[in-house]
Chain A
Amino acid sequence: MNTLTKYDILKLLEEIPDPELPIVSIVDLAMVRDIDVNDQSITVSITPTYSGCPATELIFQEVENVIRNAVGPEIKVTVNKVLFPPWTTRWLTASARTKLTTSGVAAPCDNKVETKIPISKRRTPHLNAVKCPRCETTNTTELSRFGTTSCKALYRCDNCLETFEYMKDL
């Protein structure tokens, strides 16, 4: 019989890092949307960040493994993929934001992108909003909207002249 509570499971999941951003866990990233526990089974609902993120399958496997190791072979463990409501960077916890910044990745600023401005007049969607994780100035420029992973863009700080990654709003 399963003796783990919802809270126990959440604690276990907090130990699973995002494979591409190992500084934050899947709980920090708010990918864990629901945990359903009863005597015979445990069901965890996970929402992917980006549709094509190659880390998604690994995360699903990890979630299953971690719970399986804790409960033993008799309990049914299910990991569900949920798409709705779609994942958004607005769900990131405060601790996730701090961890990201400390590791040199600027946290999303969740500004509404102004789409009414003509394309040629738009500079970056977050002009004077993305903070350099090193010197904290907002004097920064977007270099490329698409970065090394689906969730990141490439920026440059115009004060300290370092480039840094920005976890872009979704």
Chain B
Amino acid sequence: MTTITDTSKSSYLFSLTIRLADSALIASQRMSQWCGIAPTLEEDIALTNVALDLLGQARHLFSYAVDLDGCRKDEDQLAFLRDPHQYLNYTIAELPNGDFAQSCTKSFLFSTFSQCLWVSLLDGEDSTLRDIAAKSLKETDYHIEHFSRWFVRLGDGTDVSRQKILKSIDYLWPYTAEFFGNDRTLSNLEGLLHINTGKLQADWVNAIEDVFTEAGIDLPSDSDFMSTGKYGVHSEHLGHILAEMQYLQRSYPGGRW
């Protein structure tokens, strides 16, 4: 493992690991809200499978965060006993599911971004993040395939399904600026991870462009709005998710299965 002597570097690495862990965890929690109410039984199973993969990825990341933090808190304490401002997930992960089209668009945008991020972490010098990336990448490929298919099917489908996809893009697209904008955590880790957000953005646009074309939808233009979840400043939706997700640990601290 890479030794980090500079404490500020190490705190940036911890922040990034928590950001990735929180994004996977919150995306998983949101996705799992489809359990039992998805449009078809097969889709119900698919969405919960994806939620489970994301939860597993979150656990790899939390367990690394515990090591980086010198084991001061365990995985469960990190996941269940922090307050909203201590969560560093990308805002898009916490946004409400909305209708099925909105969930598909969100998961399509988020999983393609995750794929680009995992790929770029493979070239970094942090071996633990590299291993987690290599593992998660294969699962993420399945998620992308699933949500791209829905995006094309609904976007290029009936008038109603197309309208729903267009509406979901209007709502979600502005939140994608946060993937790349103003990232002091990544820029401080450039020596270790070699991630350039400009290149990351180009890779992502390249990944989604063809699917947009196939769905017959124009790629939206850049948005001036920039959400700030990755710095702990969230939308009003995160608190509600945490209230539900953390209820058990807050009411019965230290409770275990």
Please tell me which one of the listed residues B45, B131, B132, B138 contacts residue A148 in the complex, with CB atoms under 8 A apart: B45
Please determine whether B135 and A120 come into contact, CB atoms closer than 8 angstroms: no
Q: How far is the CA of A122 from the CA of B153 in the complex (A)?
A: 12
Does B139 touch A at the CB level, under 8 Å? yes
Q: Which residues of B, 112-134, contact A by the 8 Å Cβ criterion?
A: 127, 130-132, 134
Q: With A51-B56, A84-B130, A119-B149 as given contacts, are A143 and B42 in contact (CB-CB < 8 Å)?
A: yes
Please determine whether B52 and A52 come into contact, CB atoms closer than 8 angstroms: yes
Total interface residues in chain A, CB < 8 Å: 28
* Chain A residues, Cβ within 8 Å of B136: 51
Please tell me which one of the listed residues B55, B131, B149, B153 contacts residue A83 in the complex, with CB atoms under 8 A apart: B131
Q: Which residues of B, 167-185, contact A by the 8 Å Cβ criterion?
A: none
The chain B residue sitting closest to A143, CB to CB, is: B42
Q: How far is the CA of A113 from the CA of B105 in the complex (A)?
A: 23
Please tell me which one of the listed residues A48, A54, A146 contacts residue B42 in the complex, with CB atoms under 8 A apart: A146
Does A50 touch B at the CB level, under 8 Å? yes
Interface of A is mostly: loop
Q: With A84-B130, A143-B42 as given contacts, are A50 and B211 in contact (CB-CB < 8 Å)?
A: no
Q: With A51-B53, A146-B50 as given contacts, are A118 and B130 in contact (CB-CB < 8 Å)?
A: no
Does B210 touch A at the CB level, under 8 Å? yes
Please tell me which one of the listed residues B50, B55, B137, B214 contacts residue A119 in the complex, with CB atoms under 8 A apart: B214
Instruction: Give the interface segment out of B8-16, B93-101, B140-148, B224-232.
Output: B140-148
Does A86 touch B at the CB level, under 8 Å? yes
Does B17 touch A at the CB level, under 8 Å? no
- 23 CB contacts below 8 A, A to B, read A50-B139, A51-B53, A51-B60, A51-B135, A52-B53, A52-B59, A54-B52, A82-B131, A85-B134, A86-B138, A118-B210, A119-B211, A120-B152, A122-B149, A144-B46, A145-B146, A146-B45, A146-B46, A146-B49, A146-B50, A147-B45, A154-B42, A168-B142
Q: Which residues of B are interface residues toward A (Cβ below 8 A)? A: 42, 45-46, 49-57, 59-60, 127, 130-132, 134-139, 141-142, 145-146, 148-149, 152-153, 156, 210-211, 214
